[in-house]
C-alpha cells in the first residue's frame, strides 16, 4: 500500500510541475519573441541611423547607410542566435534535471 501511495504522489507531483511549466513556457515564448525582435531591431536601426548621418556628413561613392544596415542586421541576428541558444541550453538542462 505504501508503494502505491508513493507512486501516486510522484505522478501527482510530476503533473503539477508539468502544468506550471506550460504556463511558464507560454510566457517565456512571448518574452523570447520580444527579446529576439529587439535584439535584431536595435542594432539594425542604430546602424541605419549612423549610416544616414555618415552619408549626410561624409558622402562618398558607397552608401554608408546600406553598409551599416547590413552590419547592424548581421550583428542583431548573431545576438538573437546567442540568446536563443542560451535559453535552449537552459531549458535542456532543466529537463535533464527533472528527469533524474
| pLDDT tens readout for residues 12-61 | 777 766 666 555 566 666 666 777 788 899 999 999 999 999 999 998 89
| CB-CB contact of 48 with 76 (8 Å) | no
Alpha helix (H) residue ranges in the chain: 2-57, 64-99
Tell me the CB-side half-sphere exposure of residue 94, using CA atoms within 13 A: 11
> Tell me, what's the pLDDT at 21?
59
- Residue 93 has which C-alpha cell? 538542462
| pLDDT tens readout for residues 5-18 | 777 677 777 776 66
Average pLDDT of span 76-95: 82
Q: Cα separation of 6 and 75, whole Å?
A: 52
| CB-CB contact of 50 with 76 (8 Å) | no
Work out the number of other CB atoms within 10 angstroms of the CB of residue 68: 23
- How much is the pTM? 0.64
- Of residues 83 and 75, more confidently modeled: 75
Amino acid at each position: 500500500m505504501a508503494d502505491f501511495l508513493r507512486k501516486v504522489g510522484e505522478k501527482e507531483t510530476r503533473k503539477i510541475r508539468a502544468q506550471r511549466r506550460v504556463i511558464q513556457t507560454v510566457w517565456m515564448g512571448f518574452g523570447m519573441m520580444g527579446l529576439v525582435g529587439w535584439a535584431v531591431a536595435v542594432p539594425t536601426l542604430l546602424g541605419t541611423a549612423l549610416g544616414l548621418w555618415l552619408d549626410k556628413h561624409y558622402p562618398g561613392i558607397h552608401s554608408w547607410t546600406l553598409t551599416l544596415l547590413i552590419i547592424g542586421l548581421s550583428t542583431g541576428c548573431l545576438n538573437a542566435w546567442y540568446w536563443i541558444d542560451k535559453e535552449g541550453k537552459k531549458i535542456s538542462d532543466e529537463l535533464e534535471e527533472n528527469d533524474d
